[in-house]
Amino acid sequence: MGEVDPAYIQAIEHRPKIISGLEAGGIPLIDLSPLLSSDSLEGYSKDHPQAILDLVEEIKGACKDWGFFQVINHGVSYDLLRRLQTAAKEFFDLPLEEKRRVTKDEENLMGYYDTEHTKNVRDWREVLDFVVVDPTVIPHSPEPDDQRLRQINNQWPEYPSDLREVCEEYCRVVEKLAFNLLELISLSLGLPAKRLNGFFKDQISYIRLNHYPPCPTPHLALGLGRHKDSGALTVLATDDIGGLEVKRKTDGEWIRVKTIPESYIINVGDVIQVWSNDRYESVEHRVVVNSEKERFSIPFFFDPSHYEMVKPLEELVDEEKEPARFKEYNWGKFFCKRKLSNFKKLPVENHQITDFKIAK
């Protein structure tokens, strides 16, 4: 990625503290094995086995206190994940000209990219994005009056030749895990297990292969600047190199997430914050890089259908005791606005759900 260009340099208050090997604990680790032995979570009843009810309580605590948790015994085969990680490394090891043959741009929103900006500072990373349902339909533009739609398609590199197949197989498996987690979250809000599933009928979810190369100045730059995920839920696989930091809700300190073999890191996104009327908050996080080792991560962004209007769920709102805290917004328009802002260094802060917050 060359020498350090000023575009990568974070403002002093956002620069990371470089710690060696120190990982603060606290982010809940949840064992999903009760799910593997349960056929379905359908129907909210007190008849769920105690292990499921306990699991739902754990999810509720984690979503409230942290907005983040880690899961083990999630049902995704480690062999598949390893094949995907190998193919991702083979892709990112290619010469830049080769990777740029599948570059994404304002027309083609999926593909390779190495000039992403978060909060208008360039990230020390390169990515390859692909949609889970190919093609995926989204609004043509973020303009509120533009009714036109457009299709986004995946762009697959020629090499490694099995990348497409491995990615497509991974989509099916990680999607199932995402639906399981969604159902647990729904139960944890006191709703029927499948209450939220319908919002994903024409999901616009996508997967990102992230590569963070070693950085000669890890104290000045970030692999990925502080941000909140805008979708419903993120299901993240990482290798064993740490770097993800989460802003702890209790005191605003940046906490390094431990790398736990064969685990996934899950976080609540903005859409769940709005649906839950702020019961669960989407929490800020960022990625710190290091000067020695490259790091890989693979988030699955679980995103509703473009036409969904996102607003607090009516069951969770009470005009007197618990009024809605957000005005409704169109998910697809929000998604488009965010995606297009990736291609420009904007003079203003990105589009956020706080734009729809109802003043108390």
Q: Is residue 209 close enough to count as binding ligand AKG by CB under 6 A?
A: no
- Those residues whose C-beta lies under 8 Å from the C-beta of residue 244, and which sit 6 or more positions away, are 236, 238, 256, 257, 265, 285, 286, 287, 297
- SS3 assignment, position 173: helix
Out of 99, 195, 208, 256, the only residue in the binding site for ligand AKG (CB under 6 A) is 208
Which tokens belong to 282? 């989407």
Q: Taking CB under 6 A as the criterion, which residues in 211-250 touch ligand AKG? A: 224, 229, 236, 238, 244
Closest alpha carbon to 41 in 199, 185, 231: 185
238 binds, among ligand AKG, Fe ion, none (CB under 5 to 8 A by kind): ligand AKG
Residues 204 and 333: beta-carbon distance below 8 Å: no
Q: Is residue 116 close enough to count as binding Fe ion by CB under 5 A?
A: no
Give whichever of 205 and 238 is closer to ligand AKG, judged by the CB atom.
238
Q: Is residue 183 close enough to count as binding Fe ion by CB under 5 A?
A: no
Out of 114, 116, 183, 229, the only residue in the binding site for Fe ion (CB under 5 A) is 229
Residues 286 and 245: beta-carbon distance below 8 Å: yes
CA distance 207 to 300: 4
- Those residues whose C-beta lies under 8 Å from the C-beta of residue 221, and which sit 6 or more positions away, are 4, 8, 9, 10, 124, 215, 289
Give whichever of 118 and 186 is closer to ligand AKG, judged by the CB atom.
118
CA distance 168 to 150: 22
Q: Is residue 287 close enough to count as binding ligand AKG by CB under 6 A?
A: yes
What x/- string results for residues 291 through 310 when contact with ligand AKG is judged by CB under 6 A?
Answer: ------x-x-----------
Q: In angstroms, give the least distance from the CB of 222 to ligand AKG.
A: 11
- SS3 assignment, position 317: coil
71 binds, among Fe ion, ligand AKG, none (CB under 5 to 8 A by kind): none
Residue with smallest beta-carbon separation from ligand AKG = 297
Q: Binding residues for ligand AKG, per CB under 6 A?
A: 208, 210, 224, 229, 236, 238, 244, 285, 287, 297, 299
Q: Binding residues for Fe ion, per CB under 5 A?
A: 229
